[in-house]
Amino acid sequence: MKKYILSLSLIAIFGIYVFYQRNGVNAPIATTDNSAPVATQNLPISGGRGNPNKGSGNGMMVGNGMGMGMSAFYRDGTYTGSVADAYFGNLQVSATISAGKISDVAFLQYPNDRGTSIEINTQAMPMLKSEAIQSQNADVNIVSGATQTSVAFKESLASALAQARN
C-alpha cells in the first residue's frame, strides 16, 4: 500500500511540474543584481550592476573576455544581427557602434515564453552584453546554465559585427 501511495504521489508531482512548465506558470524571479526581470521582447537590456565576472547566485559564471584577440574597429551605426536558434526560441541582437567600438548591444528577440527561459535569460543577457562590450568582439565566453542563449548570442552578434567591419 505504501508503494502505491508513493508512486501516485510521484506521478502527481511530475504531472504538476509538466503542467507548470508547459503553461509558463512560474514563481517570482529573485535576482541578486537588483535588476527587474525582463518582460517584453523588444526592450534593450542595460548592463548588469556589480561585477559581471561574479556569479549571480545560481552558478552562472562568465569570464572577463580578456585575451580573446585584438579589438576590431567598426563603422559607426547600428547593425542588426541574424536570427539565431537558441533551442527554446530565437535570439537576435543589434550592435551599436560609436567611435569605431561596440558601445551597446540590444536584445531584439530572445526566448521568453517560459518561466525558466525568462529566469535564465534575465541573468545571462547582461553578462553577455557586458563581455561583448569589454572584449569588442563576438568571441565571448559561454555563460554556465545558459549555453544555448550564449551560442545564439555569439552567432547573432558576429553577423551584426560582420556588417560593421571596415
163, 126, 166, 121: which is closest to 146 by C-alpha? 121
Q: Which three-class secondary structure state does DSSP give residue 79?
A: strand
Beta-carbon contacts of 135 under 8 Å, excluding residues fewer than 6 positions away, are: 65, 66, 68, 71
Region 105-125: mean pLDDT is 93
Q: What is the rounded CA–CA span in Å between residue 76 and residue 157?
A: 15
Region 76-98: mean pLDDT is 95
Predicted pLDDT at 8:
83
Share of the chain above pLDDT 70, in %: 68
Predicted pLDDT at 3:
84
- What pTM did the predictor assign? 0.58
The answer to whether domain 2-164 has CATH 3.30.420.40 is no
pLDDT beyond 50 at 99: yes
Going by pLDDT thresholds of 50, 70 and 90, the confidence category of residue 15 is: confident
Q: For all residues of the chain together, what is the average pLDDT?
A: 76
Q: What is the rounded CA–CA span in Å between residue 16 and residue 102?
A: 45
- Which residues, in sequence order, are bridge partners of residue 106? 94
Predicted pLDDT at 42:
38
Q: What is the rounded CA–CA span in Å between residue 84 and residue 70?
A: 25
